[in-house]
Structure 1
Amino acid sequence: MQFDYRHFHIDCRARHADEGMYYARARITRVPQNDEHVPSHDSGDIDAFTNEADAISCARAWAMEWCDEVSDAASKAASKAASKAASKAASKAASKAASKAASKAESKAASKAESKAASK
């Protein structure tokens, strides 16, 4: 069974073992953009079942959960990076504004001192 979920392509299979059991397996690949090479993730044997349909159903559920976890982790990392960049930009802007205010205050104080000195 092959299908796409989120931005992943999933291939679910059941490996039939010599003892008669079916082992759930999944191969997950991120959907490529343009002609990029993307690595795949192989689950290995997830669990054993007495019939193929149950094994494939298990592989499907496992693969979707794995994709959700990977996507959530990537979203959190992107959000953290964006927050860090925004904080850095805000800090830089605040520093620039403080420097500008200090310069303006120094200029005003110097002007006031010059006026006071000229009036004496």
Structure 2
Amino acid sequence: MSKPVVYIASPYTKGDVAMNTHFQCKTFDTLLTDGKVWPIAPLWSHFQHTVFPRPYADWIAYDQALLPLYDACLRLTAHLPQVGYTQTESSGADGEVETFKRLGKPVFYSVEELYRWVDSRNAG
């Protein structure tokens, strides 16, 4: 069975955008290194936005348009304990979760929960 493509939904505009982006890139790297899923890091748009700024609504529309392409969603709190940073709230990520649920696709709230699902898919 091929690896599922998993969208990482985490805070961006609430809290510190640089910390939030760092967290998501760190999560992407962990998921890619572990090799169980193909992760998608939508906050890479942060770097595109620094060079070619667009209205926030454009980024939300872009992400929403692509969500049907992915197998699952990983909704996380941005947490960087080494610098004492935590951000949970995210209207964008919560909207993405709602889209995944409406599409009947699974949403996970921890990497461990996601990996249990992947392992159960591979076992069956």
TM-score band w.r.t. shorter chain: under 0.3
| TM-score, normalising length: structure 2 | 0.26
Structure possessing the higher radius of gyration over alpha carbons: 1
Q: Which has the higher contact order (CA 8 A, sep 6+)?
A: 2
Higher strand share: 1
